[in-house]
Structure 1
Amino acid sequence: MRRISLRTICNRRFVVLLCGVAMTLALLYQGQSLLLWTSREGIVLLSDRKNGTTGPSGIKTDLGGHAGMEKELEGNPSLSQPDRGPLESSSPPITNNYVIYPRLSQLAPETLYAMRDRHIAKLQSIIANPLPKFWQYNAQQLKTLIQAWENVGKDNDFQQPAVVLSTYGYVPCVMNRPVCSTTGEVIWLEGVTDVFKEQNHFLLYDEFENLGNAYKFYGDIVTHVWSSEPQVIWCINDPISCIQSEDNPDGIKIWQLFTFTFWGSPPNFGTFYAPEHSWSFNPLGGEWNLVPYQMPDKHFYLGYHFTGCEDTVPVPHAEKKDQVVVLAKRSEYFHFAGLFKPDFWSSFKQGLPGLDLISVSNEEEGYPVPEELTLLGPQDRRAYDLLLGSSKALFGIGRPKISPTPYASLCRGVPVVLPYDGRYCTPVPNINQSEWCGFHGVFHQHGAAATLGEPYVYMVNSQGPVEDIVRTVRRAVNTPIEPFQPPEMTREALTQRIRDYFYIDWQAYGRQKLVENGWDSWEQVNTQQFLYKYLAESEKQGKRIVQLPPGQYLPTNQWEQWLKQKQKSV
């Protein structure tokens, strides 16, 4: 008679839950302390305190994490009552940029279906009585959301559809195609919204001045809020019309508020008077920064898929022109904020006979493009793509800092050469060690692209001999590559990260951050002190972006009084 182990039986889906109980009792009988999760593949041992078991992907885990966090919060009712289902040890964690997050537990079917009926009725009422601005776009989102609710649970995924309310200023630019701009922010958002459409995630938009009203209008239909850097700071410091507080109980929960930021929150960020150490727009942590590249300080790597290559036929290397495109959209980059001095170009050009250096920069008054370059001037997106694809290399000069253009080049089979200042930065920044070179400052261009290495991305020390830079460019020009897309930038990879983001239990993770920082309640989550200087300076310059609707909330002078008291107390 063949002996069948308990673990083998437990891989049968229809007995997963019963086996979970059986395995737990069996292992506890042996004196082991453990943490399990259930999945469609069966029972997985996540943590065995006695034997130091690891979970999937070799992630080392123990019971001092989320389970310990819940125990620590038991005595505080204000923190231990989640809006969603309780944090379950049976949910596998999610990993992003060296951070392990708790996963949302599945809702009970009866709970989800009751929510479905309530939300559909509310959505129908909203569509009949809409907010006035951006109505055509939002209405289409809401109508599609109703369809998603009607199908919820059919794939055994018992979760509320993800709905983002955003005030990010580039959203109107991508509402219709073609998009209205080719800036990095738009290209990033373009890929994200494409995934939203495919995966039945939803993006509502309103102006920041109406964020508080819009959030209350949509209510618990909204699962996440995305705003820009200044908007997040202002919202957190507006407990009267924006963030949830005693005076604003229906306001945005701080763990729902994310900064959709192309730049992250690097140390010494001058715009915000930032210090030398790590910080974030949402005081809960860098995890609440959604960024296009894998950046230091635990920023959530949302990433993007470059959408501009699908309709372009690659040009064989033998048919490419003997030319190098210089990456610079503004002529002032050649004079300051770049990594090469003006006299560099003469020696550089002399070292590359037979190669044309092409510039598509605009020519700003007082900042001429170096005469060694052939100036074509700004191109539309299609023309620039054709120019890039027919060239043999793309050469960066330091700015723009983290443009999508290197990826546009690589996906057309054109290698990239990028500079760094060897006195201050290494060629490839160590993201896990919080090295911001390549993402902020003036000493490195494109830390994310630098990680790809040769033969795709070549790094040159701008402070080294010109001859070394010339040799590197020649090596790039003479080394053909096939069209290349980094694995993390595929549509599939972006889709998975977005899915992960929506499956994180952000409230539970936020409670963990409260414990780490010694906060007893959400209202104790204070803006870092240096940001009050930013708020004060914005007031002086008339740049305040909080507008309190008269007659609906406390008068403006009372809000100002609250802010002054807050500044004094920190």
Structure 2
Amino acid sequence: MAYHYTPLGKQVGLRRYVPPFLAIFVFLSGLLFIAHSSGVSITGGGSGLHNLSDPGSRVASNSLLPAAGPYHDLAYVPEPHDEITEERKGWKWYNDAKLRALTACQARGDCHPNSAKIVIFNVWYCKMAVFGNYKGGEGTWFIGMKESLERQGYTVLIVDDSWGESYIAHAVSTAPNTFTEETYHIYRQFPNLVTHVVSMEEQHEQKFKEWAKTKDRPWGIPHWKHFRFNYYQTDGGTVVGDRWVITCEPEWKEMDKGFRNFSYIGYAIEKDPDYIPFNERPMRAYVLGKHQTFFYPRAHQAWGLDYYKKALDEIRKEIPKFEMVGSFFDERSQEDQKKEGPLPIPEGIINLPKLGPKEFDNELRKARLLLGIGHPTASPSPYRAMARGVPFLSPFKLMMTPPGREDDPYTWSDSQHDTLRRETPPLVYNVLEFNYTGMVEAIKAAMVTPIEPHVYDRMLQPALDERVRYWMEADWETEARRILDLRLQGTETQRNNWVEVFEM
């Protein structure tokens, strides 16, 4: 299946970016030289060098600094059990160490050529992926981006946008401080080195505008440096235009059928080295999901609650050892559970203990089908399944007006995995929601139809690295100026509703 996305460098153009040597680096480099000459330690404490890609590691595998020497302590990050890192500010220690490391390699003159190109992720999901062990789709996507950026020498900083804490603590419908002053604080120190600032703020009162460059705030962050973190490829925009929205999934629509010109970044998937041959697996469907509420209308319910036991009994007439398994728990608060009553797992599903990522992969590779139930949407799990030779059943919903058709994905109003709408069996079984017969037939087909481990070419590591490199090296300033000039002349080239006249 071909997906239509344009490599950034081909559309926007590439630049050779040589950052100016900032006065702050000159000053700090002088201090470092004096300290080196006199044998004085700049930071004093610190018992070892951390791998900056992993705040909890004591081993330097991809650091800007040598393993020993006068610059060694500049990369010190407190251990995770230190009192200060138990608070919600671990990312500050992480950023400080990154910037000290950058200063040190500038002083030594041995920085990676890309190290003085800084990207700031002002996104709660990104903070939680690194410091909160968040393994959801957004976390998986960010970790993939971060690893690719750091493989290629770029400097990645992480700032907490406070949205999660604000929502959890106050149950607010709008989130204050979703674009934080901390990002602006970093930018103002290194305005020529910060090339990209990423946030989700457009969904939350457009807080970026408080820190953006304007005629009255000429030192603000230029709009052309600001990108929107958009897990889904379905909506959203920025003041400048479409390409300033980065997405986890590629556009599935054809160019002439509503194509949305976002910037697809994505993440990488590897084939499973512990692949279990099809004939050695049990007759098992793994039910995708982790929250018991996913089976109910409050989520994207795809099947009736009685379908599972009914399907189990029917399929066992032909396949006696067939079973459905999953790992679900009730994520609701005790207050909500008392208020709403029980929401049990449907009969017919064997509920396994709570699984971590490794345990999930181990159970997944034993299955012959990953059964979608409507939620979670656009999950990485179907890709992980296919990489293990396990197909995915993706339920979808039809449009009401005009009436949709099962054979035309453009007339579906919703799908558990939009990117896979146009895929076909035996890799992906797209089945209309609440179609019991279609569900059962797809399950039975998957039980007897093997597939080889499958990874899309776009999800291989070299392809990801190429997209990330284009994103970092494209001449966004020139492209933004072209868009703005046409906009001022009355010609709009962007499709989203967020666009405005902005200050370059």
Q: Same fold (TM over 0.5)?
A: yes
Work out which of the residue numbers 350, 369, 382 in structure 1 matches 2:313.
Answer: 350
Distance across 2 between alignment mates of 1:126 and 1:418: 59
Structure-2 change in CA distance of 1:185 and 1:193 (3 Å): same
Q: Which amino acid aligns with 2:380?
A: P
Q: Secondary structure at the match of 2:124?
A: coil
Structure-2 change in CA distance of 1:250 and 1:227 (3 Å): same
**CA shift at 1:463, angstroms?**
4.7
Partner of 2:20 in structure 1? 115
Partner of 2:227 in structure 1? 258
**CA shift at 1:427, angstroms?**
6.3
Q: Which amino acid aligns with 1:323?
A: R
Distance across 1 between alignment mates of 2:443 and 2:394: 10
1:408-557 correspondence runs (5 A): 408-423=384-399, 443-464=414-435, 466-518=436-488
1:137 maps onto 2:94 in alignment: yes
Structure-2 change in CA distance of 1:477 and 1:162 (3 Å): farther
Structure-2 change in CA distance of 1:198 and 1:160 (3 Å): closer
Structure-2 change in CA distance of 1:427 and 1:184 (3 Å): farther
Distance across 2 between alignment mates of 1:516 and 1:342: 54
Distance across 1 between alignment mates of 2:214 and 2:421: 44
RMSD of aligned residue pairs (Cα, Å): 3.7
1:142-291 correspondence runs (5 A): 142-145=99-102, 150=109, 161-175=116-130, 180-207=133-160, 208-210=179-181, 211-230=183-202, 233-238=205-210, 242-264=211-233, 266=235, 280=237, 282-291=238-247
Tell me the TM-score normalized by structure 1: 0.61
Partner of 2:37 in structure 1? none
Structure-2 change in CA distance of 1:384 and 1:261 (3 Å): same
Partner of 2:46 in structure 1? none
Partner of 2:264 in structure 1? 301
Unmatched runs of 5 consecutive residues or more in structure 1? 1-58, 60-93, 267-278, 532-570
Tell me the TM-score normalized by structure 2: 0.69
Q: Which amino acid aligns with 1:417?
A: L
Checking the alignment, whether the CA contact within 8 Å between 1:450 and 1:458 is kept in structure 2 is no
Partner of 1:319 in structure 2? 280
Structure-2 change in CA distance of 1:344 and 1:518 (3 Å): farther
Distance across 1 between alignment mates of 2:226 and 2:217: 15
Partner of 1:82 in structure 2? none
Distance across 1 between alignment mates of 2:379 and 2:31: 39
Partner of 1:398 in structure 2? 374
Work out which of the residue numbers 346, 362, 371 in structure 1 matches 2:329.
Answer: 362
Q: Which amino acid aligns with 1:478?
A: V
Structure-2 change in CA distance of 1:490 and 1:164 (3 Å): same
Structure-2 change in CA distance of 1:384 and 1:426 (3 Å): farther
Q: Which amino acid aligns with 1:243?
A: A
Structure-2 change in CA distance of 1:405 and 1:504 (3 Å): same
The C-alpha deviation readout for 1:4-29, integer Å capped at 9, x for no partner, is xxxxxxxxxxxxxxxxxxxxxxxxxx
Tell me which moved more, 144-153 or 211-220: 144-153
Q: Which amino acid aligns with 1:505?
A: D
Which structure's CA Rg is the greater one? 1
Checking the alignment, whether the CA contact within 8 Å between 1:359 and 1:375 is kept in structure 2 is yes
**CA shift at 1:511, angstroms?**
1.8
1:378 maps onto 2:364 in alignment: no
Distance across 2 between alignment mates of 1:500 and 1:161: 16
Q: Secondary structure at the match of 2:325?
A: strand
Distance across 1 between alignment mates of 2:467 and 2:275: 29
The C-alpha deviation readout for 1:171-205, integer Å capped at 9, x for no partner, is 333446xx712111111111111111210011112
**CA shift at 1:100, angstroms?**
5.6
The C-alpha deviation readout for 1:303-338, integer Å capped at 9, x for no partner, is 11136x66x511111221221111122212212121
State, as a whole percentage, how many aligned pairs show the same letter.
Answer: 22
